[in-house]
């Protein structure tokens, strides 16, 4: 069986278990919602002020929430040593990563899209005109966060201080994504929205580089 059918079977498993328990989605949505609401109290969300602060705040909330979401990614597989069962079953270990990256991207994107309207209302930011561009940025950034985060989750799951290690490794590594996606979003929130192609290009390159690295070296991350 080749890589993609294996990954598709595993993605089905990831979606089935998550939609059955809704643990990750619920935690992440609630966390982001709390951050958005709390920050809305700290400054008067006039349009001008929101355009300056809101993009950074939005992406910081997404980034912290993603560390919550990615933490159990491989920890769950250790509970009954199911990771060993997967390694014994798949022909290419990259299928395990590919399924987890796809699932995490999907969950993160779903959370972001769910919370975007609430964010737009609370911070008085018009999003309808640039929604398609926002979806593109959300997708590229979520893919980058999930790819790097899934790899780091595999590393940290085997460490002793695993709960602390993931955010410590993840947040500095994902700073470039935070900066790029914040800049692109900021330009999209301006009175005269513009697409910052350098930022979008950077996000796409980040995704390709990390996916390639995961494809080349992922097998070693799964070893005991």
Partner 1 sequence: MTPPSFSPVGLRFENIDKRYGGLLALRSVSLAIAPGECVVFAGRNGSGKTTLLRIAARLVRPSRGSVSFSESSGDGNENVIRPGFVAHATMVYDELTAEENLLLFARLQDVQRPEDRVDALLKEVGLSERRASLVRTFSRGMRQRVAIARALLHEPAVLLFDEPATGLDPQGVAWLADAIRRLRDSGSTILMSLHGESEISSLGTRAIRLDAGSIAADTRTGATFRSILAIADA
Stretch that binds partner 1, among 85-93, 116-124, 150-158, 170-178 (CB under 8 A): 85-93
Using an 8 Å Cβ cutoff, are 174 and 148 in contact?
A: yes
- 142/119 Cα distance (integer angstroms): 18
- 175/19 Cα distance (integer angstroms): 30
Q: Per-residue string for binding with partner 1, 96-125, x by CB under 8 A?
A: ------------------------------
Does position 223 interact with partner 1 (CB under 8 A)? The reply is yes
Q: What are phi and psi of 189, to 5 degrees?
A: -85, -5
Question: Shortest gap between Cβ of 15 and partner 1 (angstroms)?
Answer: 12
The site for partner 1, by CB under 8 A, has a size of 23
**List 22, 34, 37, 81, residue binding partner 1 (CB under 8 A):** 81
- 156/164 Cα distance (integer angstroms): 9
Other Cβ atoms closer than 10 A to 134:
22
44 versus 224: smaller Cβ distance to partner 1: 224
DSSP letter, residue 196 = -
**List 34, 37, 38, 85, residue binding partner 1 (CB under 8 A):** 85
Question: Shortest gap between Cβ of 159 and partner 1 (angstroms)?
Answer: 14
- 29/24 Cα distance (integer angstroms): 8
Residues that bind partner 1 (CB under 8 A): 1, 6, 9-10, 13, 16-17, 20-21, 79-82, 84-91, 223-224
């Amino acid at each position: 069986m080749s890589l993609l059918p294996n990954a598709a079977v595993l993605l089905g498993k990831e979606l089935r278990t998550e939609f059955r328990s809704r643990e990750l989605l619920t935690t992440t949505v609630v966390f982001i919602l709390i951050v958005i609401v709390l920050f809305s109290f700290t400054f008067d969300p006039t349009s001008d002020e929101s355009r300056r602060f809101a993009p950074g705040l939005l992406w910081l909330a997404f980034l912290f929430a993603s560390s919550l979401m990615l933490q159990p990614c491989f920890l769950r597989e250790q509970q009954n040593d199911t990771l060993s069962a997967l390694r014994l079953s798949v022909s290419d270990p990259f299928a395990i990563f590919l399924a987890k990256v796809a699932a995490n991207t999907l969950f993160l994107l779903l959370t972001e899209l769910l919370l975007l309207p609430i964010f737009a209302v609370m911070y008085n930011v018009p999003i309808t005109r640039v929604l398609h561009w926002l979806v593109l940025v959300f997708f590229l950034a979520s893919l980058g966060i999930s790819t790097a985060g899934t790899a780091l989750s595999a590393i940290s799951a085997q460490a002793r201080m695993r709960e602390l290690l993931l955010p410590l490794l993840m947040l500095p590594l994902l700073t470039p994504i935070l900066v790029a996606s914040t800049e692109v979003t900021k330009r999209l929130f301006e009175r005269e929205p513009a697409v910052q192609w350098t930022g979008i290009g950077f996000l796409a390159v980040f995704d390709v580089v990390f996916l390639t690295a995961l494809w080349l070296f992922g097998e070693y991350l799964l070893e005991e």
